[in-house]
A and B are shown apart, each in its own frame.
Chain A
Amino acid sequence: MSVEGVPEVPPLSRQVTQEGIRRYAEASGDFNSIHVDEEYARATPFGGTIAHGMLVLAHLSEMMAAAFGLDWLAGGRLKVRFRAPARPGDTLTARAEPRRARQVDGERVFEYGIECSNQRGEALISGTAEVVVGRSR
C-alpha cells in the first residue's frame, strides 16, 4: 500500500544456510551452540540449528540502507520482536510497508511497518523502522 509522501522500499530476499550461519558466528563472535552445533540443537525444543536473530535483522537493515543510504546510518531506527526462528533452508523476505511521514523537531521522518518472513509466509521478525531524512547532508 502506498502512502503519500513516503517512498516505497524495495523488498529483499536471502537464503539461510548452515554455512552462512557459521560465517555470521565467526563475524560476530557469537558461537552459541544453538546456532552452530547441529547435534546439540537437535536435542533442544527447536529441533535443529537456528540463525542468529541479529543475522536475520541484518537483512532488514540492509533493505533500509539500500533505500536511504547514508541517511539510514545517520538517522535510522529499528524496533522489532523476534517472533520465530529462521532455519537453514529457509528463504527469507524482508519487506517495509510505508506508514506515514511526519516532522519531528524540524526533521522529516518516514515510518514503516517492517517484517521478515519465511517461504511459508510466517513472520519471523516484525516491528517498525523509521528514518530521519537529510541528517547526513
Chain B
Amino acid sequence: MTSANLPNLADLPRGRELPEARFRLGADDVRRYLEAVEDCSDAYGQGPEGPAWVPPLAVAALALRTILEQVELPAGALHAGQEVEFRHPVPVGASLRTRARVAQRSEMRGAVVSVIEFEVREDGSATPAVVGRATVIASHGEAPS
C-alpha cells in the first residue's frame, strides 16, 4: 500500500480501530535498540544471544511505530504524551501483535488531538504484555512530511 492510500490520522474518528499488525523483536533488533538508547542496564537477563527479555519501552516504541505505519501523519505532527504499562516481560524473539484504536479525538486551535490506545500481545497469549495510550497533535489537512 502506498502512503497515498493511508488514512490521515487527523481524519480518523473516535472509536476507529486500526488493523491488527504483527512484529517480532529478535536478538539483533534488541541489541540495536540497546545500543541506540545506550542502555547498559542488566535488568533484561541473559539469554544465549544477549538479553533474555526485550526492554519494555522497545516493545511500546516498536508497537507504536507499527501502528502509525498504517496511517498518514501530517507534517509537523507531535507526540505530545505517552502512557504505557508493562504487564509481563516479553522474551527476545517472541512474535507480537498489536491492536489499536482511536480512543479520543478533539480539535483545539486548528489542531487535532488524537489519543491512540494500543495493546501488544505475544502470539497465543490471552493477556497483553504492554498496553498504552499515545497522544498525537496534528494540524488538519497539512501535507505529510
Name A residues whose Cβ lies closer than 8 Å to a Cβ of B: 14, 20, 23-24, 26-30, 32-34, 40, 44, 53-55, 57-59, 61-62, 65-66, 68-70, 72-82, 136
Q: Which of B76-107 contact A (CB under 8 A)?
A: 76, 78-90
The answer on a CB contact under 8 Å between B43 and A73 is yes
Given contacts A73-B86, A82-B80, A82-B81, contact A24 B36 (CB under 8 A): yes
Report whether A29 and B41 are in contact in the complex, using a CB–CB cutoff of 8 Å. no
Size range of the chain B interface in the assembly: 35 or more
Given contacts A23-B35, A80-B81, A81-B80, contact A58 B55 (CB under 8 A): yes
Query: Are A73 and B56 interface neighbours, CB within 8 A?
Result: yes
Question: CB-CB < 8 A to A27: which residues of B?
Answer: 29, 32-33, 35-37, 58
Residues of B bordering A, CB below 8 Å: 29, 32-33, 35-39, 41-45, 53, 55-58, 60-62, 64-65, 69, 73, 76, 78-90, 145
Q: Taking chain B's interface residues, is the majority helix, strand, or loop, or is none over half, making it mixed?
A: mixed
Cα(A41)–Cα(B61), bound, Å: 22
Q: Which of A14, A33, A61, A74 contacts B145 (CB 8 A)?
A: A33
With A30-B65, A65-B44, A73-B56 in contact, do A81 and B86 touch (Cβ < 8 Å)? Answer: no
> Which chain A positions have C-beta within 8 A of B43?
65-66, 68-70, 72-73
> Are B88 and A77 neighbours in the complex by a CB distance under 8 Å?
no
Residues of chain A with a CB closer than 8 A to B38's CB: 14, 20
From the candidates B41, B58, B86, name the one contacting A77 in the complex (CB within 8 A): B86
**Are A58's CB and B89's CB within 8 A?**
no
Is the beta-carbon distance between B86 and A62 smaller than 8 angstroms? no
Residues of B within 8 A of A77 (CB): 83-86
- Give the nearest-CB partner of B76 in chain A: A44
Chain B residue at smallest Cβ distance from A37: B145
C-alpha spacing A80/B83, complex, angstroms? 6
**Nearest chain B CB to A17's CB is how many angstroms away?**
10
With both chains docked as a complex, state the minimum distance between the C-beta of A121 and any C-beta of chain B, in angstroms.
Answer: 21
Return chain B residues, CB-CB under 8 Å to A30. Answer: 65
Chain A to chain B contacts (Cβ below 8 Å), 6 pairs: A26-B32, A62-B55, A72-B56, A73-B90, A78-B85, A81-B80
